[in-house]
Structure 1
Amino acid sequence: LSFPSLARGTAKSPVTNIMFLKTHKTASSTVFNVLLRFAEKHNLSVALPEGEHFHLGYPWLFLARYVEGSEQQRRFNIMCNHLRFNPPEVQKVMPEDTFYFSILRNPVFQLESSFIYYKSYVPAFQAARNLSAFLASPWTYYNRSASLNNAYARNNMWFDFGFDNNAWPEDGYVRARIAAVERHFQLVLIAEYFDESMVLLSHVLHWTLDDVAYFKLNSRSQSSVTSLTPQDQERAKRWCALDWHLYQYFNRTFWARIHTELGPRRLRNQVALLQERRHQLTDLCVQDGAPKKQSQIKDLQLKPYQSGEADILGYNLRLGLDNATLQLCQRMVMPELQY
């Protein structure tokens, strides 16, 4: 390609055994793409769902048998499909030295995204006119015993970590569960600071910045994003109190980790380099330099899955790319189901 590769920040060899807990509506599809590209580049094995499934048993608690090839007692390098975390079962298919990480998003906006994306799928969302109506009286719509699919409607990130999303947010309980997350996960990223998250991830995994260069995937057009009133935001925090505690705690630890690992100046420099690389790759790969609505995407292989009332954006690639560049660009914009 026409630009030099960004060097690894350390001489240490890159971490290659990685479990990413792919939470929902948290920019996790973009992380998923980064991980699959890394796996392909380094010829690593990936724990894929068995059969025709897209998820590793979600929303049920993960079992090792949900992985293709698990019956041969084999271990995998990378695990990054949606699953509900269940450590003993994950450990059956991942090596002992696996690096565990995840990503969280402000639960107010995570819930807004879930509502739009899963509107027709989640029983609790179906009858609500909009998210504001749902938040004004959530128990009118939400029945905790109705279906596991209702997990998308309340404390969904807490649920993804394997916990009870209907538990009372009592201090001792919350602290104990957060401590459990800290025991199992070496790093929790924050979606609102995605570039900073990618820089920190590359640093901790001894990867290059090129390894974490990305295009935003599975994002919505602005027209399908609902802006919430301050009152609705407060209601969402109360309704998803467990997620709110989780997010606040790991937002603090994220910045503490940034401070100790990188420091502000190095962080700024690395983020600037990553953003510059994204601009270069956008110029290289993307037609018109911007994501498109699904109706405008010409290559069926690059059309993202559409869900609910969300208008999921994708990319058209520039014409006339040479083979090597085309392969790179295709992988960077490939929606996760196709990948």
Structure 2
Amino acid sequence: MMVAPVTKICICFGIFLTLFLCLMTANYDYHTLLPNYWKYRNTNQIAVLNKVSNYRYFPTKQTPSQHIAFLKVHKTGSTTAQGIFLRYGLKRNLTFVVANNKSTYPNVISIEESVIPGYNIVPPPKGRRYEILCFHVVYNRSAFEGIMPNDTKYIGIVREPFQQFKSIIRYFDYAKHNKYAQFLRQFLQNITLSKNKENHNPATTVLNNRMAFEFNFPLHLFDSFSLHEVKQYLQKLDEEFDLVIINEYMEESVVLLRRMLNWDVQDVLFVNLNVNQGSSDLNKVGLKEVRLYRKYAALDYELYNFFLKRLWKQINSYGHDILEEISYYKLLRKNLESFCNSKETPILIVEESNWSSSFQVTHEDCDFMRQGEFWYLNEIMKQQYSKKTVY
């Protein structure tokens, strides 16, 4: 006598469950950050990457952007990023903005000022115009616009401030005998006890909110922090920069860069440069030092956090496909590093994918990617002005 009611209940529950699952599926966010795994195979002589689907992000129908202003910020991984622009421009004989040696180093236009035609940059060759700016100089939109084409893409780079701070201490050798942690602690203790004189002129140091200085934050904010004014200036930078690369998400940033510039995948390949592999007692500093530095470098932290959030908003705006490309690019980069560090295979063949036509990488290409900044500068000077730099 109870079979029919039970059957009806089961049927009703089944209908309800089906409707519920349909509604959940309809509202599912397919842009959720899910990992994508790629199959790849190796042979004795070649490493091959391949992914096939109906969607193609190449060849792009838009013209590649070849006018670039890259703000090369000290100790942010900027040399690695800069190499992408140097190689792209050299291969296409584009005209670079170069220093006229007013600064100590020929690869630095200025660490205190922006570009000043007739003073700290060499005029472009006759009949040419500047196309790529990627050497150290302080950002100034009006100064940049005065020398760069109207369709220039503006790219910056930042790094987690405390990591940049430690890198600066080590790179510029602020402490002898590898006592970097001791120097760091004493420095942070001193600035909490008395007003650091370097605060009054941030142009004279690389230890005081250097990223904010090179992004040309108003100088009075280095002495008197105002969150309202900081947010106003960040909004200005948001409108002026097409992309700000995040060091900790370099590969994600480069994939986004490729799409913004309409470049090929092989144009944005890189190997890491200027990476300090040595041991350092800076790894022993703790949360106390981090908290002190957060107060001292408030401008850098506001800058970094702002563009970190913006990077992921920009990535998500491309939808799920860009996440697949990021996974693909990371695997390609891993294979590239392995290939460049080994002589077992003469060539790396990269098969056609959703985002790239097939191409090859040779060990000569690896050597090209490993060259230092001075080598590139010499090649630029020979190509543009038929002469070498002196350093």
TM-score by length of 2: 0.69
Q: Which of 191, 211, 218 is equivalent to 2:267?
A: 211
User: CA offsets per residue over residues 87-146 of structure 1, 9 Å max, x none?
Assistant: 22222221111000101111111111112112349xxxx999421221122266942278
Does residue 60 in structure 1 map to residue 60 in structure 2? no
Cα distance in 2, alignment partners of residues 166 and 146 from structure 1: 8
Cα distance in 1, alignment partners of residues 138 and 67 from structure 2: 19
**Mapped contact 2:71–2:136 kept (Cα < 8 A):** yes
Does residue 253 in structure 1 map to residue 310 in structure 2? yes
Could you tell me which residue of structure 1 aligns to residue 256 of structure 2? 200
Could you tell me which residue of structure 2 aligns to residue 334 of structure 1? 371
**Mapped contact 1:21–1:82 kept (Cα < 8 A):** yes
Query: What secondary structure is seen at the aligned counterpart in 2 of 1:69?
Result: coil
Cα drift, residue 321 of structure 1:
6.0
Cα drift, residue 277 of structure 1:
2.1
* Residues 320/9 of structure 1: CA separation in 2 closer, same or farther (3 Å cut): closer
Cα distance in 1, alignment partners of residues 258 and 142 from structure 2: 27
**Mapped contact 2:203–2:213 kept (Cα < 8 A):** no
User: CA offsets per residue over residues 193-222 of structure 1, 9 Å max, x none?
Assistant: 111011111111111222111111111115
Q: Which of 172, 185, 188 is equivalent to 1:135?
A: 188
Could you tell me which residue of structure 1 aligns to residue 336 of structure 2? 281
Cα distance in 1, alignment partners of residues 141 and 289 from structure 2: 35
Query: What secondary structure is seen at the aligned counterpart in 2 of 1:19?
Result: strand
Higher deviation after alignment, 15-24 or 274-283: 274-283
Cα distance in 1, alignment partners of residues 99 and 139 from structure 2: 15
Higher deviation after alignment, 33-42 or 159-168: 159-168
Alignment of 1:113-128 (within 5 A): 113-120=167-174
**Mapped contact 2:161–2:301 kept (Cα < 8 A):** yes
Could you tell me which residue of structure 2 aligns to residue 310 of structure 1? none
Could you tell me which residue of structure 1 aligns to residue 352 of structure 2? none
User: CA offsets per residue over residues 6-62 of structure 1, 9 Å max, x none?
Assistant: 974633221110100111111110011011111122221111212462211222333
* Residues 73/92 of structure 1: CA separation in 2 closer, same or farther (3 Å cut): farther
**Mapped contact 1:17–1:95 kept (Cα < 8 A):** yes
Which amino acid in structure 1 is aligned with residue 286 of structure 2?
T
Could you tell me which residue of structure 2 aligns to residue 226 of structure 1? 282
Cα drift, residue 162 of structure 1:
1.5
Unaligned runs of 5+ in 2: 1-44, 51-56, 348-360, 377-391
Percent identity between matched residues is 26
Cα distance in 1, alignment partners of residues 287 and 135 from structure 2: 34
User: CA offsets per residue over residues 246-291 of structure 1, 9 Å max, x none?
Assistant: 1111111111111112x3x42332122222222332233224xxxx
Query: What secondary structure is seen at the aligned counterpart in 2 of 1:152?
Result: coil
Cα distance in 2, alignment partners of residues 233 and 148 from structure 1: 20
**Mapped contact 2:95–2:132 kept (Cα < 8 A):** yes
Could you tell me which residue of structure 2 aligns to residue 43 of structure 1? 93
Q: How many residues align?
A: 302
* Residues 154/269 of structure 1: CA separation in 2 closer, same or farther (3 Å cut): same
Cα drift, residue 337 of structure 1:
2.3
Could you tell me which residue of structure 1 aligns to residue 387 of structure 2? none
Structure number with greater CO (CA < 8 Å, separation at least 6) is 2
Answer with 1 or 2: which has the greater Rg: 2
* Residues 149/10 of structure 1: CA separation in 2 closer, same or farther (3 Å cut): same
* Residues 273/241 of structure 1: CA separation in 2 closer, same or farther (3 Å cut): same
Cα distance in 1, alignment partners of residues 147 and 249 from structure 2: 31
Cα distance in 2, alignment partners of residues 191 and 276 from structure 1: 18
**Mapped contact 1:195–1:274 kept (Cα < 8 A):** yes
CA RMSD between the two structures: 3.0
Cα drift, residue 71 of structure 1:
9.1
* Residues 150/26 of structure 1: CA separation in 2 closer, same or farther (3 Å cut): same
Query: What secondary structure is seen at the aligned counterpart in 1 of 2:317?
Result: helix
Does residue 25 in structure 1 map to residue 102 in structure 2? no
Which amino acid in structure 2 is aligned with residue 117 of structure 1?
Y
* Residues 37/70 of structure 1: CA separation in 2 closer, same or farther (3 Å cut): closer
Query: What secondary structure is seen at the aligned counterpart in 1 of 2:279?
Result: helix
Query: What secondary structure is seen at the aligned counterpart in 2 of 1:135?
Result: helix
Query: What secondary structure is seen at the aligned counterpart in 2 of 1:232?
Result: helix
Which amino acid in structure 2 is aligned with residue 152 of structure 1?
V
TM-score by length of 1: 0.79
Unaligned runs of 5+ in 1: 288-317
